[in-house]
Structure 1
Amino acid sequence: MDNQNEERFKQGEFAAWVGIIGNLVLAIIKGVVGFISNSRALIADAVHSASDVAGSFAVLLGLRAAKLPPDRDHPYGHGKAESIAAIIVAVLLFIVGLEIGYSSVESFFHPIEAPKIWAVYAVVFSIIAKELMFQYKYRLGKRIKSDAVITNAYEHRSDVYSSIAALIGIGAAVLGGKLGIDWLEYGDPIAGLAVSLLVLRIAWKLGAESIHNTMDHVLHEEDTVEMKEIVESVEGVMNLDEFFAREHGYYVIIDIKIAVDPEISVQRGHDIGKEVKRRLIEQSLVRDVFVHINPYNEEKDGEST
């Protein structure tokens, strides 16, 4: 593995550990304070943070699997392990959203009591901490091109949204308790329900995107312009007959067919193909290139075999 990829995985793994430790601390704080202050919304938010711990572990395992070099059974490498980890995170998030929603709805059928003011302080602390974690992981994920890290970042952002909803609900419930307005006390379980809907929406969106990335989709036309120009600039390439660049996790695998002068030697055609591959791999995104050589035929320009 080259130094650039090694550094990429080190940064990704460090981010995963930041998520594991940070979420564990927040889950404990919110869980304890939620129990003491009698806040269902804060307890639901604590469960959300606890699920993020599992999500960060999934990201860590995905990064380590993606780090493995190609082998006989996986000649294209293990880059998709990150996307699979992202799907696992999304599924965990979806299950947590359902559980939070169920718990919140159930609370409407039992006597309710306004939470204590400590719940407000805990949720404000959570909002600040989770937004900082989101900004760090999102920027890192974009820089190292990791679906798993970006998905994990949005887990933190979903926690921010859920904590804001919890803050509104808890604040309303606390105010209702102090002013003797009974219906405001239901702001706490209503906030828990809002949290669950936000979590479900984010889980669905992230899961759909991660599944799309595992389906061998090719890069869009506008994303391959520079790569095609590189191929066409190689001496001896008379036509680019076919070009498919597909994402394989954080890197790209390219399959192309190029046309060369039919009168040149096999060795010369082979050398042209090697030069095309070398120049494309110089791009940081490209891991491997499979080049098929066609004889150029002006009358059938663009047709390939």
Structure 2
Amino acid sequence: MNQYQEIKQGEKGAWLSIGAYIVLSVIKLAAGYVFASAALVADGYNNLTDIIASTAVLIGLRISQKPPDEDHPYGHFRAETIAALVASFIMATVGIQVLISAANSLFATEHEAPGMLSAWVALASAVCMAGVYMYNRRLAQRINNQALMAAAKDNLSDALVSVGAAVGIFGSQLGLPWLDPVAALAVGFIICKTAWEIFYSSTHALTDGFNEKELNSLRGTIERTQGVRFIKDIKARVHGSNVLLDVVVMVDPQLSLVESHRISDEIEKRMERKHNIMSVHVHVEPLVPEEASKIAGN
């Protein structure tokens, strides 16, 4: 299965999330207003944003399947990252609105205890979203898709949000009605936290940031390649769910062009086999005495 087919597989997870969020948001908002649960209403609005966020991920997956062209020689894979960035803004906006609404409810003079049925709605929703999370996580791991993995993490946070809403509702039934708006506040904070995490990872990737530990792991694999004497430079960046790697290696100056090319091919094969990196640019240079003395001095 090539990378475009893998992205196509990822659409299944996005569609599953959209369908689940549509059904759950309607049920939660209806039950929240009928049974006067601020936490369940907040959870319902959270799922509304998740519909938009999952749709953005789906659009990103669709665009990223477009083949390379004159304007995009590396393909359109970063559409996934841009879609996740847009989704983070949408989630943050609604999260702030939920926090404001919950704060107003918390400081109200009277608190109405929500109906018990709303708590069972929240728990059923948590079970449903846990199932969606497990499906999307397994699919994302199988096809190595970061956008779908981000959606899976959002599914998990939604399951936890629903559990928190249920706890608040059960607490209000025990004579602590203020627990419901407090749970709504917790929902708002979780929405904002998830939005920040998606925003940070997206902007880090779009500005060509790369995990230093992962880069050191790539360096170690290249250094253990037979014929590589020294790594002069190594750079990596994330392109959607792919990694683009550029490395300059120094080899014995007595090697022929064919032998140097063999080392380059071996590095590419090891990167694909061990790290699932398909796009590797290797530049080979001779390790001349001047360079060797500099290395020894360092």
Tell me if TM exceeds 0.5: yes
Match of 2:50, SS state, is: helix
The offset of 1:67, in angstroms, is 1.8
The offset of 1:110, in angstroms, is 6.1
Aligned to 2:12: 14
| Contact 2:129/2:156 (<8 A) preserved | yes
Aligned to 1:241: 232
2:284 corresponds to 1:287: no
Match of 1:301, SS state, is: helix
In the alignment, the residues of structure 1 paired with residue 266 and residue 236 of structure 2 have an alpha-carbon distance, to the nearest angstrom, of 14
The offset of 1:281, in angstroms, is 6.4
Decide which moves more: 289-298 or 246-255. 289-298
Of the three residues 278, 281, 287, the one matched with 1:296 is: 287
1:1-305 equivalences under 5 Å are 3-107=1-105, 108-109=107-108, 111-176=110-175, 184-219=176-211, 220=213, 221-225=215-219, 227-229=221-223, 232-233=225-226, 239-260=230-251, 268=258, 271-272=261-262, 275-276=265-266, 279=269, 282-283=272-273, 285-301=276-292
| Contact 1:89/1:152 (<8 A) preserved | no
The offset of 1:248, in angstroms, is 1.8
Decide which moves more: 53-62 or 34-43. 34-43
Q: Gaps spanning 5+ residues in structure 2: where? A: none
In the alignment, the residues of structure 2 paired with residue 233 and residue 94 of structure 1 have an alpha-carbon distance, to the nearest angstrom, of 50
In the alignment, the residues of structure 2 paired with residue 255 and residue 61 of structure 1 have an alpha-carbon distance, to the nearest angstrom, of 29
The offset of 1:44, in angstroms, is 0.9
In the alignment, the residues of structure 1 paired with residue 254 and residue 269 of structure 2 have an alpha-carbon distance, to the nearest angstrom, of 24
Count of residue pairs brought into register by the alignment: 291
| Contact 2:272/2:278 (<8 A) preserved | no
Amino acid at match of 1:289: V
Match of 2:75, SS state, is: coil
Structure 1 residues 264, 135: CA separation in 2 closer, same or farther (over 3 Å shift)?
closer
Amino acid at match of 2:244: I
In the alignment, the residues of structure 1 paired with residue 210 and residue 163 of structure 2 have an alpha-carbon distance, to the nearest angstrom, of 38
| Structure 2 length-normalised TM | 0.86
In the alignment, the residues of structure 2 paired with residue 21 and residue 279 of structure 1 have an alpha-carbon distance, to the nearest angstrom, of 40
Match of 1:68, SS state, is: coil
| Contact 1:273/1:291 (<8 A) preserved | no
- What CA deviation, in whole Å up to 9, does each residue of 1:42-69 have, x standing for no partner? 1111111111111110111111222222
Structure 1 residues 201, 81: CA separation in 2 closer, same or farther (over 3 Å shift)?
same
In the alignment, the residues of structure 1 paired with residue 264 and residue 66 of structure 2 have an alpha-carbon distance, to the nearest angstrom, of 25
In the alignment, the residues of structure 1 paired with residue 30 and residue 93 of structure 2 have an alpha-carbon distance, to the nearest angstrom, of 22
Q: Gaps spanning 5+ residues in structure 1: where? A: 177-183
Percent identity of the aligned residues?
Answer: 32
| Contact 2:66/2:76 (<8 A) preserved | yes
Match of 1:78, SS state, is: coil
The offset of 1:168, in angstroms, is 1.6
Match of 1:191, SS state, is: helix
| Structure 1 length-normalised TM | 0.84
Aligned to 1:179: none
In the alignment, the residues of structure 2 paired with residue 172 and residue 275 of structure 1 have an alpha-carbon distance, to the nearest angstrom, of 63
| Contact 1:224/1:245 (<8 A) preserved | no
The offset of 1:280, in angstroms, is 5.0
